[in-house]
Amino acid sequence: MRRDDVIARLKETEPALRAFGIAALYLFGSHARDEAGADSDIDVFVDVAPGASFGLRRYMGAFRVLEDAFGHKAEIGYSTRDALSPYIRADVERDALRVF
C-alpha cells in the first residue's frame, strides 16, 4: 500500500480516535518514508489530549479503530508518544508524518 493510501485511511479514523481522547496521530517507519513492502506493518503513534483519561479500554478501543480501517489485512504497530522507547524515540519522531 502506498503512503498516500495509508494516510487517507488513517485520516478517516480521526473522528473515532478523537472520541477516545487522541489529539494527534503520526505515521512513521517504512510507510512514512514510502518504502513499504507488501509485508510491512503500519507504524503509528498518538498524542493523548491534555487531561484526557486514556486507560486500557480507550487504548484498545483506538487500536481496534485502526485495525478496522485496514480490514485486519495489515499489522498495526501502535504506541503513545510517551511509551516510545527512549532508544528509538528521536529516530521515530524524525521520520514521523502528522496525519491529524
Q: Residue 72's pLDDT is what?
A: 73
Q: End-to-end CA distance of the chain, in Å?
A: 20
CB atoms within 10 A of CB 47: 15
For 76, counting Cβ atoms within 10 Å of its Cβ (0-12 exposed, 13-18 middle, 19+ buried), the class is middle
Q: What is the mean pLDDT of residues 61-77?
A: 92
Please compute, for residue 35, the number of CA atoms within 13 A of its CA located in the half-sphere on the CB side.
Answer: 5
* pLDDT one-digit tens code per residue, 18-68: 999 999 999 999 999 999 998 899 999 999 999 999 999 999 999 999 999
Number of H helices, E strands in the chain: 4, 4
CATH assignment of the domain containing 70? 3.30.460.10
Count of domains in the chain? 1
pLDDT band at 74 (very low <50, low <70, confident <90, very high): confident
Distance CA 6, CA 92 (A): 17
Work out whether strand 76-80 and strand 42-48 pair parallel, antiparallel, or are unpaired: parallel
Q: Residue 13's pLDDT is what?
A: 98
For residue 51, give its domain range: 3-98
Q: Residue 47's pLDDT is what?
A: 97
